[in-house]
Amino acid sequence: MSFTIAIDGPAAAGKGTISKAVAAHFGFAHLDTGLLYRAVGAKTLDGAEPVAAALALMPKDLDGDRLRTPQVAEAASKVAVIPEVRAALVDFQRAFARRQGGAVLDGRDIGTVICPEAEAKLFVTASAEVRAERRYKELREKGLDTSFDAVLADVIARDERDMNRAEAPLKPAADAVLIDTSALGIEQAIAAAVQAINAKRDQV
């Protein structure tokens, strides 16, 4: 039996952490769809054409610490607005979503575009300031020299780009459960997600 959990939300809201924990809790496969766009973005930084990079994407391209750098995140956000890039990656995501044994996908448009028929949909969010503080601490721990103001400006700019792009803008699905992690610890956020998904599973 397949059961799809779609988890969307802006950068640094906690959806990746929640998605991994939810997948582990239910024994489902997990796909961070943002890595698909980061992998394409990384290839463009090396000089590749975005659409060609998306069409040639291989599973091995999703590995590596480089995909977690701010430069690649910026490149990913830019290639994600290209309709042909999104189209090239849709089939991969939809096939993963309907695999037997259940799947958790997290990204920007899973519940609205990729898997509108998903059995459970969550939209994980937090204030821009809280998300910027999380990202700032993460970057400092990695030894990257930056400022909170610069990170906040980047978060706001990325939100603006993601929410206002013509193709698959970031927004909650009409039937998504909203989880605001601004004032939640990790365990509280995961518990809220599991509770929401269990409620959906009971309805299937």
**Binding site: residue ranges?**
9-17
> 32 with 129: CB under 8 angstroms?
no
**Which residues have CB under 8 Å from 99's CB, separation 6+?**
2, 29
Q: Residues comprising the binding site for ATP?
A: 9-17
| Residue 110 DSSP label | I
Position 59: which residue type?
P
Paired tokens of 130: 């809280």
Return d(Cα 118, Cα 4) in angstroms, integer. Answer: 5
> 104 with 30: CB under 8 angstroms?
yes
Nearest alpha carbon to residue 106 among 29, 8, 2, 4: 8
Run of H or E including 179: strand 177-180
Report the 10 Å Cβ neighbour count for 119.
Answer: 16
> 157 with 149: CB under 8 angstroms?
no
> How would you classify the pairing of strands 120-125 and 4-8?
parallel
